[in-house]
Amino acid sequence: MNLTILCYDKCSTCQKALKWLDARNIPYTARPIKQAHPSANELRAWQEKSGLPLRRFFNTSGMLYRELGLKDKLDTMTEDEQLALLASDGMLVKRPLLVSDGAVIPGFKESEWAKLF
């Protein structure tokens, strides 16, 4: 299984998720979300694969999300506008973002990840 984890090295949840994978000897490729943020096309494909609403891919607890006032703006934006915004800055994307051959999971919930492995 090809497994990529988009993460931010200063994020404690990302650190916890990587430790969880390491403890289970699950191989992965870490992709720094701030430097190598996903494109709109990647995000669209991942959102479709996940079956989740696009809103779940936003880092709602992030400073940038709050600074931009996105809580109130997302509902009035088109999906293309939301994707372009997510692709503009990796810090807007919910992390860690697990991308595998069979699943895409934004955020780290041990129970969700455990079901995949």
Residue-range domains of the chain with CATH: 3-116 (3.40.30.10)
* The amino acid at 16: K
Report the C-alpha gap between 41 and 39 in whole angstroms.
5
pTM: 0.93
* The amino acid at 70: L
Higher pLDDT, 72 or 50: 50
Indicate the pLDDT class of residue 77, thresholds 50, 70 and 90. very high
Helical pair 40-50 and 79-88, crossing angle rounded to 10 deg: 120
